[in-house]
A = this chain, B = another copy of it.
Amino acid sequence: MRMKILAQVPLFAGLSELALDGIDHRMVSLSYAEGDRLYSAGDPANYLYVVAAGQVKTLQPALNGNDSILDILAPGEFLGGLTVLGRPVYGETAMALVTTCALRIGTDAFREVLLEYPEIALRALDDVTALLQEARSDTSQRATSTVAQRVATTLLQLAGKFGQHGGSGDGTLIQLPLSRADLAAMTGSTPESVSRVMSQLRKDGVVDTGRRWTSILDHNKLTAIAAAEE
């Protein structure tokens, strides 16, 4: 049953049954309630996690208390492996956004796997590189764009990753319990500013929001806002 999940993890795609079985035997499955922490920044980084079901947000703690949300992870993605050699502590905090199930493997065991299957190491390298490029484009965007643009961009990214089409409404539904504070932490802003932007977007019929969901009604207009304010 866990084998099926592992086979769907991009990082392990294309591995033989035998290899997957070997990895599977070294992993433990765990479950978390909403708000539970998989690990906290500063904890010894002894494990690598793979999201099996649910969503996990990773938080970058800041001195001022203005934590940033680095990423929201979907099933199949891994986290906690991003520790620098010689600094064996987590740099971020990982928290379950909803009821979540995850698999866990010891970092030493994972390192063995990487040495045994170099192609996985290369794929991991690609994955981290992709994260790096994302982080870097984020950085340059924060410097130049307005809050409205950043919120729009973030919503589009979320829609691309978690969006569900069709159903009753005709928009793209993002079913995540994201508070204004969460969106603020994702865009490098404040809850108040995000609220203003969202109110405006709702008034213009671009999005609609509810308790634990957000829906994008006018994808084109949102893209236009993300690209250049009017």
Measured CB to CB, the residues of A under 8 A from B are 60, 62-64, 66-68, 70, 82-85, 91, 111, 114-115, 118-119, 121-126, 128-133, 135-144, 188-189, 227
Could you list 17 examples of A-B contacts with CB < 8 Å? A60-B139, A64-B144, A66-B144, A68-B139, A70-B136, A82-B129, A84-B126, A84-B130, A85-B123, A91-B133, A114-B121, A121-B121, A128-B129, A138-B139, A140-B188, A142-B143, A143-B189
> For the complex formed by this chain, how many copies does it contain in all?
2
Choice from B139, B143, B188 contacting A144 with Cβ under 8 Å: B188
Given A118-B114, A118-B121, A125-B124, verify A82-B133 contact (CB < 8 Å).
Answer: yes
Which residue of B is nearest A121, CB measured? B121
- Please tell me if the beta carbons of A143 and B68 are within 8 angstroms of each other in the complex: yes
Check if B189 sits within 8 Å of A126, measured CB to CB. Answer: no
What's the Cα separation between A127 and B111 when bound, in Å?
15
By a CB distance below 8 angstroms, the chain B residues around A67 are 140
- Smallest CB gap from A71: residue in B: B136
Whole-angstrom distance between the Cβ of A23 and the nearest chain B Cβ: 16
Please report the C-alpha to C-alpha distance between residue A124 and residue B83 in the assembled complex, in whole angstroms: 12
Which of B84, B118, B125, B136 lies in contact with A135, CB distance below 8 A? Answer: B136
Shortest Cβ gap from A55 to chain B (Å): 19
Query: In whole Å, how far is A110's beta carbon from the nearest beta carbon of chain B?
Result: 11
Within the complex, what minimum Cβ distance (angstroms) separates A84 from chain B?
5
Closest to A64 in B: B144
The CA-CA distance from A138 to B139 in the complex, in Å, is: 7
Measured between beta carbons, the chain B residues less than 8 angstroms from A91 are 133, 136
Which residues of B are found within 8 Å of A144, using beta-carbon distances? 62, 64, 66, 188
